[in-house]
Amino acid sequence: MIKDRELQRVRGAAAEGMGWLTKAATTLTSAEELVEADPNSAYTLAYDAARFACAGLLAQQGLRPTTSGGHYAIHVETVCGHG
């Protein structure tokens, strides 16, 4: 995926994933609050929370998705372990 420019290597502050993980936790809390009143929006927020968490995990491995990799790169690399 690096060769195909779906992921790129990062170092330093860009490789610190805690910001993404904090954002994931906050977004998941928002999803939980909406689940009864607006389940469709809650689902979207839960998806975003998972994506943010995976971006944090990738960052801690020194990787981030490019604009061409986007959501696909996060899914494939963190869920499927391909790349």
Phi, psi of 11 (to 5 degrees): -135, 170
User: 83 or 74: which carries more pLDDT confidence?
Assistant: 74
Q: How confident is the model at residue 40 (pLDDT cuts 50, 70, 90)?
A: very high
Using the 8-state DSSP alphabet, how is residue 61 labeled? Answer: T
Task: In whole angstroms, give the CA distance from residue 29 to residue 23.
Answer: 10
User: 28 or 8: which carries more pLDDT confidence?
Assistant: 28
Q: How confident is the model at residue 20 (pLDDT cuts 50, 70, 90)?
A: very high
Mean pLDDT of 20-25: 96
Residue 69 pLDDT: 53
Is-contact 10 59, C-beta < 8 A? Answer: yes
Residue 42 pLDDT: 97
Report the candidate in 3, 6, 1, 9 with the shortest Cα–Cα distance to residue 60: 9
Number of C-beta neighbours around residue 44 at 10 A: 14
Q: List the domain boundaries for the chain.
A: 7-80
Q: What is the pTM of this model?
A: 0.77
